[in-house]
A and B are shown apart, each in its own frame.
Chain A
Amino acid sequence: MRDKILRILKEEKGVVSGRALSSMFRCSRTSIWKHIKALKEEGYGISSIPRFGYRLYNIPDLLLPREIKEELSTKFIGHKIYYFKETGSTNDVARDLALASEEEGTLVIAERQTKGKGRIGRRWVSPFGGIWMSLILRPRVSPADASRLTLLSSLAVCKSIKKVVGLPVFLKWPNDVLIGKKKVCGILTEMDSELDLINFVIVGIGINVNMDMNVFPEGLQKTATSIKEELGKDIKRIDLLKSLLEELERLYLLFTEGKFSWILKEWKGYDCIFGHDVEVATLGEIIKGRAMGVDEDGALIIKGLNGATKRILSGDVRLWWRQGDSNP
């Protein structure tokens, strides 16, 4: 009922009388007033004009579930949403939900994370203004193929930023999304599996959207950026999020149909390190060489200085620019 009241207020764009609403919903005007009050508490700007009624004058810049679901064209991703003004880590919440049998496609979203997670215990700065979300997936594929989801997710982010914001975006293996040479999005994927069966995968996506650079610690300012910083203005986060969910579902369905090669082909179109000299910090060792793209599994191929090729599954890639090289 609250959703319906809101829809009427949105459609009317003017004053809607309390009496009209109460007769429409066959309830008391007090009951209508309670719903209006709740909507205002959610952040909607609704003015109450005595004797006339209610008027919606502002839809908040929040990632509210009902705003996300409005005209969302997905089949299952984002149909169920857990929304938090603030939580520790959306990945942790999603994981607990998945362990409690929550269904595939369920989304956990927070306006702020107090314990945003990065790789191996690193922190992920997640103040208000970003998109901090985790998605529950239950792909019926071999656990060995699950790492492909990280490439898939980065491609979805890349394409949705390009589509909604129009900025040139690039991918850095395996799943960093860059604008210029700076990271605008981080992806942390966690899996729970048996020997040959995936119980669930949590895809955690953090996008720096409407954030000023001063929210990042000084050390991060050289390597991180936000869409606002690159574009020079705020964007509507909800539009980006909806586009991302639709793109994620399109690619995920391709993946589950065994068409990962299609995804890789698209991914390669954004590969900013291909052909460039890079160094890869792997376990206690730094490998220098030229990035030769990814193989059919999504592993990085590096051609070493001695001409031998190496296949890399794990490591941090740093661009190792030679003088005279242009930016990606």
Chain B
Amino acid sequence: MENNESMSFIDREIEEIEEVISLAENAGISELELEEEGKRIKIKRAVNQNSPPLEGLEKEPVSIEENNYEKIVAPLIGTFYRAPSPDSPPYVEIGDIINVGQTVGLLEAMKLFNEIKSEIAGRIVKILVEDTQLVKTGQVLFLVDTHFEKPTSG
């Protein structure tokens, strides 16, 4: 019994350290030190010097919510625009019902512009990126509810 308890204590410690590591990784920092109630966790990470970090690239937060919906991801790395021009309304808003092939955003890399087209139909429930944010290939941009009740006419 006692033995079991001490095991789980160690497990908890490991879990905590793992958390700190992933925190450092996500933030892209090489050194992180946390102190709490006489406990201190310090980690150092080797950061790859050969490939400079891409300016403005942020890790997307992972949430359980994503699993309940279909995703529209960035087909390429680049700057994400929600509208065709700063004066235009966004391609889509939360709550909008979209069709297959509908343009939902614009990506730009080195002045090549690429319209992001949805491969699914449904209702936009969440937009995970900001206008003019740098996104990476495969990053989730929109969550789409594909099982919602379609409003019937009349």
Q: Compute how far the CA of A122 lies from the CA of B84 in the bound complex, rounded to whole angstroms.
A: 10
Residues of B within 8 A of A234 (CB): none
Q: Does A146 contact B (CB under 8 A)?
A: yes
Residues of B within 8 A of A285 (CB): 56
Query: Which listed segment binds A: B13-21, B32-40, B103-111, B140-148?
Result: B103-111
Q: Compute how far the CA of A328 lies from the CA of B97 in the bound complex, rounded to whole angstroms.
A: 52
The A-B contact count (CB < 8 A) is 98
Which among A144, A190, A287, A298 is the interface contact of B76 at CB below 8 angstroms? A144
Sampled A-B contacts (23; CB under 8 Å): A119-B111, A120-B81, A120-B85, A121-B84, A143-B114, A144-B76, A146-B112, A147-B78, A149-B112, A150-B110, A174-B111, A175-B111, A190-B114, A195-B75, A195-B119, A201-B112, A285-B56, A311-B54, A312-B55, A313-B78, A313-B109, A314-B79, A314-B109
18 new A-B contacts, CB < 8 A, other than A201-B112, A282-B56, A311-B51, are A120-B86, A144-B137, A147-B78, A147-B111, A150-B112, A174-B110, A175-B110, A189-B111, A190-B113, A283-B133, A285-B56, A310-B54, A310-B55, A311-B52, A313-B55, A313-B77, A313-B109, A313-B110
Within the complex, the shortest CB–CB distance from B30 to chain A, in Å, comes to 12
Q: By the criterion CB–CB under 8 Å, are A298 and B114 in contact?
A: no
Q: Does A1 contact B (CB under 8 A)?
A: no
A283-B134 contact, Cβ under 8 Å, with A188-B113, A311-B55: yes
Q: By the criterion CB–CB under 8 Å, are B86 and A121 in contact?
A: yes
Q: Compute how far the CA of A120 lies from the CA of B106 in the bound complex, rounded to whole angstroms.
A: 9
Q: Does B26 contact A (CB under 8 A)?
A: no
Q: Does A232 contact B (CB under 8 A)?
A: no
Of all chain A residues, the one with the shortest Cβ separation from B116 is: A193
Q: Compute how far the CA of A190 lies from the CA of B116 in the bound complex, rounded to whole angstroms.
A: 12
Residues of B within 8 A of A189 (CB): 111-113
Q: Does B67 contact A (CB under 8 A)?
A: no
Q: Compute how far the CA of A311 lies from the CA of B136 in the bound complex, rounded to whole angstroms.
A: 13
A150-B111 contact, Cβ under 8 Å, with A120-B81, A310-B53: yes
Q: By the criterion CB–CB under 8 Å, are A284 and B52 in contact?
A: no
Q: Compute how far the CA of A150 lies from the CA of B110 in the bound complex, rounded to whole angstroms.
A: 7
Q: Does A171 contact B (CB under 8 A)?
A: no
Number of interface residues of A (CB under 8 A): 39
Of all chain B residues, the one with the shortest Cβ separation from A148 is: B110
Q: Does A15 contact B (CB under 8 A)?
A: no
Q: Does B99 contact A (CB under 8 A)?
A: no
Q: List the interface of chain A (C-beta within 8 A of B).
A: 119-122, 143-144, 146-151, 174-175, 187-193, 195, 201, 282-285, 287, 298-299, 301, 308-315
Within residues 63 to 118 of chain B, which ones have a CB less than 8 A from any CB in chain A?
Answer: 75-79, 81, 84-88, 106, 108-115
Q: By the criterion CB–CB under 8 Å, are A283 and B53 in contact?
A: no
- Best-buried of B51, B77, B109 by chain A (most CB within 10 Å): B109
Q: Compute how far the CA of A310 lies from the CA of B57 in the bound complex, rounded to whole angstroms.
A: 11
Q: By the criterion CB–CB under 8 Å, are A282 and B55 in contact?
A: yes
Residues of A within 8 A of B55 (CB): 282, 287, 310-313, 315
Within residues 6 to 62 of chain B, which ones have a CB less than 8 A from any CB in chain A?
Answer: 51-56
Q: Compute how far the CA of A174 lies from the CA of B113 in the bound complex, rounded to whole angstroms.
A: 13
Q: By the criterion CB–CB under 8 Å, are A311 and B53 in contact?
A: yes
Of all chain B residues, the one with the shortest Cβ separation from A203 is: B112
Of all chain B residues, the one with the shortest Cβ separation from A154 is: B111
Which among A150, A175, A301, A314 is the interface contact of B134 at CB below 8 angstroms? A314
Residues of A within 8 A of B115 (CB): 190, 192
Within the complex, the shortest CB–CB distance from A20 to chain B, in Å, comes to 53
Which among B52, B87, B114 is the interface contact of A309 at CB below 8 angstroms? B52
Within the complex, the shortest CB–CB distance from B133 to chain A, in Å, comes to 7
Q: By the criterion CB–CB under 8 Å, are B111 and A188 in contact?
A: yes
